[in-house]
Structure 1
Amino acid sequence: MVIFTLKHASGSPEERTFLEDGRRILSAIPQVTQFRVCRQTSAKNDYAFGFSMDFASQADYDAYNAHPDHTAFVEQRWLTEVSRFLEIDFADAMR
């Protein structure tokens, strides 16, 4: 999961395009399951959005991280359009 705030104005076409492109590009990577685009609803933090996804294994996560579509999205979109973020990676603690 990653929570983030965009440089774009809230409700702008650029904001919507970034979120739609993120969903389209990242959810198409074969190792990704349960991809979700989330909007922050809590007043406890001020990040605006989240991308959440699941992976069947650490190997799948590693493959996603190295996938050319993921690295291109990060380099071409993320680094230029995201103002700040926090990445949170969890593994099931009860397995």
Structure 2
Amino acid sequence: MDQGRIRHMAVFTLKSPQDSAETKQFLADGKQILSSIPVVQHFEVLTQVSSKCEFDFGFSMEFENQEAYDTYNAHPDHQAFVEKRWKKEVERFQEIDFKAY
């Protein structure tokens, strides 16, 4: 990863069962809504494979720099997704943000 870039990851467990239609819709909607924000790069929807982690899924994305990351956080589509979907459908989560060392 280039200097200055930020990799943002949100790992989470949903309130709905892992293989339910509600879960599939949440993951699809998250990908569609969040990846369409212009500053988002390399968006991925991930599923957990390790028994050492308590979370089931992850969203991973990269930003060119801090300004792009701040733009994403303030973007109305991101804020609406958090308010209308994330806060209602996510059981627990952890956010992780990395820069190259």
Partners in 2 of 1:58 and 1:69 — Cα distance? 19
Which consecutive residues of structure 1, in runs of 5 or more, have no partner in the other structure? Answer: none
Classify the secondary structure of the residue corresponding to 1:88.
strand
Percent pairwise identity: 56
Measured in 2, the distance between the counterparts of 1:51 and 1:10 equals 15
| Structure ranking higher in strand proportion | 2
Structure 2: 5+ residue stretches without partners: 1-8
Q: Scaled by the length of structure 2, what TM-score is found?
A: 0.91
Quote the Cα distance in structure 2 between the aligned partners of 1:6 and 1:58: 28
1:50 aligns with 2:58: yes
Post-superposition Cα deviations, 1:25-49, rounded to whole Å, max 9, x if no partner, equal 0000000000000000011112000
- Alpha-carbon RMSD across the aligned residues, in angstroms, is 0.5
Aligned residues: 93
Read off the aligned partner of 2:76 and give its amino acid letter.
P
Larger RCO, structure (CA 8 Å, separation 6 or more): 2
TM-score (norm: length of structure 1):
0.96
